[in-house]
Amino acid sequence: MAYVFSVSLVSVVWLAIVYLNETRGLLSCDRFPSTAAKYFAYAWLGAFLLMLAILVTQAGLSPATAKQLASTPFYMLFLLHVILIVFLAGWWALSGRPGIREFLENGGTVIAIGSSATNLAAYLKLPVENHLAEAGTPLPRTKFYVPGSVLSARVDLANPLSSGMEEHTDVFFDDSPVFKLGAEAAAAGVRSLAWYDSKQPLRSGWAWGQSYLENGVAALEARVGKGRALLYGPEILQRAQPHGTFKWLFNGIYSSVMEK
């Protein structure tokens, strides 16, 4: 009976997704090259949801004992992660890579955090460099290493994206990227949202070589066409804990709608 309920539930969800896409363009960001590819993607999504329903139901009906967990190979603990990655790889193969640049140029807002911010800056070819580098080479850990610590960053309160924040806000830094704006940054519409204005920004935890952080940019805003990219180096959402930096996410989402 439990399997019938879970399979029925995901079937309803799957049908709703298909219906909303056909009538309201729910998946309009995905660009399927043909109708056949779109219907195959629907089937791929259905198979993914069905597999999840079966696995979750099975786990709920037969919880693993401590002895079974102790004998389970470590890699098996990440089975659901593997299934998700395979699904996403298949979906992107069918729909193509998301058109991030086109989305931005048409007025969209993209928010990137941590290493994703570095990757997005490189993808968009923004005039942004790695602040934690010497002669173009990233600092080795013998000179700089800050894992899982709280740092103080100065915030540009004149920017609406920082509405409700303090001039000096604590951020969670976990080997996070730190940016340096290039000479063409201002002309390209790139500006700082927050930066480390001290040689000793450490508030909690430990930091090796923290003086290298001084004047490094923690967060920035980049105009791309009619839209903008928001790049945050620190983990502003780390496990739903750093409430002081949630506003950067919420303000970014809110302003993306209000500006339209």
Residues 94 and 140 in one domain: no
Alpha-carbon span 121 to 253, nearest angstrom: 19
> Where in the sequence is the domain holding 139, given as residue range(s)?
108-258
Residues 91 and 182 in one domain: no
Residues 29 and 55 in one domain: yes
User: Among the three residues 43, 70, 98, which one is the final residue of a domain in this structure?
Assistant: 98
252: CATH: 3.40.50.880
Task: Give the per-residue pLDDT at 77.
Answer: 78
Residues 112 and 207 in one domain: yes
pTM of the model: 0.73
Q: Quick: pLDDT tens for 151-175.
A: 999 999 999 999 999 999 999 999 9
Task: Give the per-residue pLDDT at 70.
Answer: 84
Could you give the number of structural domains in the chain? 2
Residues 112 and 91 in one domain: no
Task: Give the per-residue pLDDT at 42.
Answer: 96
Residues 123 and 235 in one domain: yes
Residues 164 and 232 in one domain: yes
At 248, give phi and psi (nearest 5°).
-60, -40
The number of beta carbons lying within 10 Å of the beta carbon of residue 168 is 14
Q: Quick: pLDDT tens for 50-66.
A: 999 998 899 888 888 88
At 2, give phi and psi (nearest 5°).
-65, -40
Quick check: is 103 in a domain? Answer: no
Q: Which residues of the chain have pLDDT under 50?
A: none
Task: Give the per-residue pLDDT at 190.
Answer: 96
Residues 210 and 248 in one domain: yes
